[in-house]
Amino acid sequence: MKPIRTERLILRNWRDDDRPLFHRINSDERVMEFFPFRRSRAEADAKLDAFRAEIEHDGFGWTAAEVAQTGECIGFVGLHSAENKPAPATGAVEIGWRLAPEYWGKGYVSEAARAWLAFGFETLNLDEIVSFAVWNNTRSTAVMERIGMRRDPARDFDHPGVPDSHPHLKRHIFYAISRDDWFQSLKQNPPLS
């Protein structure tokens, strides 16, 4: 894929030197607070390889987010085909993110997510982009709302991939933004140039 540049970030495919950061965010208790698992280094390496292959094949995916000024990889933000996902999302394209905690609260996710929405609607010509999170993951749902997504309670669901040992993580709330709503938001708030 051709890297996507935003004001402060480069969204690109994964490199081998990203492996330590990728493992760290997939095993950090704060980052993974709303997930029922933590990944070992071997599991994280295998997942990074899968992400890299998907990006090479599809031209998009959960891409590395790099701070342009420093070259630091800070996590991932991207679009992902929601195949083999819960019924409300099957066949959809999902937007998601995961950053190292020291980069939270700096607007990086919103900046990168807006670039991915533009790519999804303007390049991939998608009709809708979706996202979902554990019901009380207010950090993620706040980003969804900031980037113009709307809650759709009729599509909330209990995630079948969450084991019964973690009942507090089962309920997921669903957000979406349509192509029409995206372009309407651009008319109301044109990007700064």
**pLDDT tens digits for 135-162?**
999 999 999 999 999 999 999 999 988 9
pLDDT (mean) for 14-26: 98
Mean pLDDT of the chain, nearest integer: 93
pLDDT (mean) for 12-23: 98
pLDDT (mean) for 109-133: 96
Listed by start position, the domains of the chain span 4-188
Partner residues linked to 93 by β-bridges: 81
Which residue in the block uniquely carries the two structure tokens 């009942």?
Answer: 167
Find out whether 98 and 105 touch, Cβ atoms under 8 Å: no
Write the burial class of residue 157 (CB in 10 Å: 0-12 exposed, 13-18 middle, 19+ buried): middle
Which residue in the block uniquely carries the two structure tokens 């890299």?
Answer: 52
- Side-chain-facing half-sphere of 154: CA atoms under 13 Å: 1
| 184, pLDDT greater than 80 | yes
| 83, pLDDT greater than 70 | no
pLDDT at residue number 185: 85
Find out whether 126 and 179 touch, Cβ atoms under 8 Å: yes
| 187, pLDDT greater than 90 | no
Identify the architecture of domain 4-188 in CATH: 3-Layer(aba) Sandwich (3.40)
Partner residues linked to 173 by β-bridges: 133
CA dihedral 33, 14, 178, 157 (to 10 degrees): -30
pLDDT (mean) for 121-145: 96
